[in-house]
Every structure is written in C-alpha cells, then in structure tokens.
C-alpha cells in the first residue's frame, strides 16, 4: 500500500498536509486497473479518539485546516479501484506546532566595561524554545553573529549576554566612541527559527553606547600658591573621552 507522511514544512499550529505515494503496478489491483480515489481518515485527537472520514481525492495529498495547536492528530488512508477499497495504510501521527513567534527587541545596557544584551522568551508555539541567535550590528550597518561574544544557545536559560566593549570596538564590528550598540534576536525550536526581532532603538531604557578610555589630558600647570616649601599644581577636567 501507499506510504503516508506529513509535510512538516506546511505544518503549523492550525494546519498540516498529509502526503502519500501513488500505487503502481500490481498494487493497483491488476494490470490495467486504475486507482479511482484515495480516502483519508483521521483521528481528531484525544478528545474524540475516533477515526472518521476526512477527505476523498484523486490527488496525492490533502491539506487539513482548523486544527488546534499542541494537539496530536492521526491519519491513515486507503485506495479505491473499480472493485472497491483496499486495506488501510499504517497510521501516522503528528502534533501541531510551529516555529516560535518573533521575539521582542532586545534591551542593551552598560555594565562596567561591558554591555548587557538581554531578551525575553517569545511564545514557543507548542514546541519548547531550544536556543537563540544574537546578531550585532557592525559599523557598516550589517548584522553578524559572534558566538564567542554572545552565544544565544549557551545563554538560553539566562536570556542575556555580557559583551566587552573592547570586542565591539575590534573587527569585525569596529564600533567607535558613542556608537549605539544595536542587536536583533532570533529564537528556535524543533520546528525551526523565528523571524528576526526588531533591533533595539536609542531610547534610554533600550540603548547603550560605546564608551572608551579617556584622551590624553593637557599638561598640568603651576599654580599661584607654589613657593619655596610647597607646590601648587592644577589641571583641567576632561569633558570628552
């Protein structure tokens, strides 16, 4: 009999596609005997736990909608020729789920000589979130992942990374003084990756800017109180890095 599978790529919280192979040769019931129909049955989950007719079709797939996320559904089918129905296939089952929702934009704050990139877990869509990908914007405006700096897989439980500003100032990011640190987040589960989050903005509660070492100061000067027994030295306060 035909082999039944589930098209995982089309499966979501609310829909799936059941696919099977065509019967050929003697499996159709004899030389020159044509298959006239495929009849699909399904089990609509543990609430009903009964097998009922779903579709009759001459094609090799049927698209099922109106499903409930996180529910396991079973499918089987049989072929018809002019003499009637054949045996049912082996049953296949699947639980409706899909990739996580798009995460919210991350928040980035200055922590000492580091920036903390933090994010929140998105809706998992009935398959647990397994990890994250953190993309940081370069000086050129492109986004790159550096697992050495921020490994979203390793930090999946704590939901943040501490990234040294020195690393952001070095290649390939090449950020300079007062540049905004910008990042995007993606989440993955067994069904795949979410879409990229929006980048964080320059709002004070979401933003961090690159800080650097101070510049060389102007030379100190001799003060008016310098005398035979004391030195009076003064200097100017830095107002830029």
Same domain assignment for residues 131 and 186: yes
CATH at 62: 2.60.40.10
Whether residue 203 lies inside any domain: the answer is no
Q: Quick check: 88 and 46 in contact, CB under 8 A?
A: no
Instruction: Inform me whether the pLDDT recorded for 15 exceeds 90.
Output: yes
% of the chain with per-residue pLDDT over 90: 74
pLDDT score for 1: 59
Whether residue 88 lies inside any domain: the answer is yes
Q: What is the pLDDT of residues 26-51, one digit of tens each?
A: 888 888 899 999 999 999 876 667 89
Pairing of strands 221-222, 160-164: unpaired
Whether residue 230 lies inside any domain: the answer is no
- Total of domains in the chain: 2
Same domain assignment for residues 112 and 186: yes
Whether residue 174 lies inside any domain: the answer is yes
| 188-198 mean pLDDT | 97
| 2-15 mean pLDDT | 91
d(C-alpha 211, C-alpha 205), whole Å? 17
Q: What is the pLDDT of residues 60-88, one digit of tens each?
A: 999 999 999 999 999 999 999 999 999 99
Quick one: tokens of 18?
């059941």
Q: Residue 240: which pLDDT band, with cuts at 50, 70 and 90? A: low
Same domain assignment for residues 114 and 84: no
Same domain assignment for residues 39 and 120: no
Phi-psi category of residue 26: left, alpha or beta, with phi > 0 → left and psi -120 to 50 → alpha: alpha
Beta-carbon contacts of 179 under 8 Å, excluding residues fewer than 6 positions away, are 139, 209, 210
Could you list the residue range(s) of the whole structural domain that residue 40 is in?
A: 4-95
Same domain assignment for residues 8 and 64: yes
pLDDT score for 201: 86
Whether residue 118 lies inside any domain: the answer is yes
- What is the sign, positive or negative, of the torsion defined by CA atoms of 40, 43, 48, 51? positive
pLDDT score for 2: 72
Residue 16 exposure: Cα atoms within 13 Å on the Cβ side:
28
Whether residue 213 lies inside any domain: the answer is no
Same domain assignment for residues 88 and 112: no
Instruction: Inform me whether the pLDDT recorded for 215 exceeds 70.
Output: no
Pairing of strands 37-43, 72-81: antiparallel
Mean residue pLDDT of the chain comes to 92
pTM of the model: 0.81
């Amino acid at each position: 009999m035909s082999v039944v599978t589930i098209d995982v790529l089309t499966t979501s919280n609310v829909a799936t596609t059941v696919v099977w192979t065509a019967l050929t040769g003697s499996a159709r019931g004899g030389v020159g005997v044509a298959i006239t129909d495929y009849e699909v049955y399904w089990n609509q989950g543990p609430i009903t736990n009964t097998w009922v007719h779903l579709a009759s079709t001459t094609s090799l797939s049927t698209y099922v909608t109106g499903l409930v996320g996180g529910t396991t559904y079973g499918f089987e089918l049989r072929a018809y020729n002019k003499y009637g129905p054949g045996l049912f296939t082996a049953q296949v089952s699947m639980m409706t789920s899909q990739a996580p929702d798009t995460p919210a934009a991350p928040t980035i704050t200055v922590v000492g000589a580091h920036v903390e990139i933090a994010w929140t877990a998105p809706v998992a869509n009935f398959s647990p979130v397994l990890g994250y990908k953190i993309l940081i914007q370069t000086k050129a405006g492109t986004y790159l992942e550096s697992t050495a700096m921020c490994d979203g897989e390793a930090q999946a439980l704590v939901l943040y990374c501490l990234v040294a500003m020195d690393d952001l100032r070095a290649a390939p990011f090449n950020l300079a003084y007062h540049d905004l640190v910008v990042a995007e987040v993606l989440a993955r589960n067994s069904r795949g990756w979410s879409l990229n989050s929006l980048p964080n903005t320059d709002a004070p509660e979401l933003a961090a800017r690159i800080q650097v070492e101070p510049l060389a100061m102007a030379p100190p000067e001799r003060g008016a109180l310098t005398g035979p027994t004391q030195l009076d030295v003064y200097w100017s306060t830095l107002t830029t890095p």
